[in-house]
């Protein structure tokens, strides 16, 4: 089992540019979560999907953020336009009840 795979590992972009983060969950896991980690706010849940359907997106900070899960093996988190305050580590995690969360290694985003 390869675990949750995120790409890219690091992303540096300029303010105003579009950023797309990608996630491949563990095969067979039907829930997928996007978290953001910053020093100030810790780990925050942005959105989660169950069976490819968004269930709770109340953590998405603004309309600049959007997430999709077109199929069971792929999800994207898009920021358009990006701002310096979006700089953080973004984690994708997946689970299949009753198993708990399995995290990817994260994408470190820097917006200059």
Residues that bind other proteins (CB under 8 A): 4, 31, 33, 42-43, 45, 48, 56, 91, 93-95, 97-106
Check: CB of residue 75 under 8 Å from CB of residue 22.
Answer: yes
Nearer to other proteins by Cβ, of 76 and 105: the residue is 105
CA–centroid distance for 16 within its chain? 19
> Which pairing describes strands 88-95 and 102-103: parallel, antiparallel, or unpaired?
antiparallel
CB of 103 to other proteins, least distance (A): 3
16 or 61, CB closer to other proteins? 61
Least distance (Å) from other proteins to the CB of residue 34?
A: 12
Provide, rounded to whole angstroms, the least separation between the CB of residue 81 and other proteins. 27
Nearest Cα to 11, choosing from 75, 59, 77? 77
**Gap between the Cα atoms of 103 and 67, Å rounded:** 17
């Amino acid at each position: 089992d390869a675990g949750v795979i995120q790409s890219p590992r690091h992303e540096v972009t300029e303010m105003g540019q579009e950023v797309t983060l990608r996630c491949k969950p563990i095969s067979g896991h039907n829930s997928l979560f996007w978290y953001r980690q910053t020093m100030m706010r810790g780990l925050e849940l942005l959105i989660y999907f169950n069976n490819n359907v968004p269930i709770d997106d109340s953590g998405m900070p603004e309309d600049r953020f959007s997430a999709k899960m077109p199929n069971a093996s792929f999800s994207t988190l898009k920021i358009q336009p990006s701002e310096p305050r979006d700089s953080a580590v973004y984690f994708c995690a997946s689970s299949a009840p009753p198993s708990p969360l399995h995290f990817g290694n994260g994408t470190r985003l820097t917006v200059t």
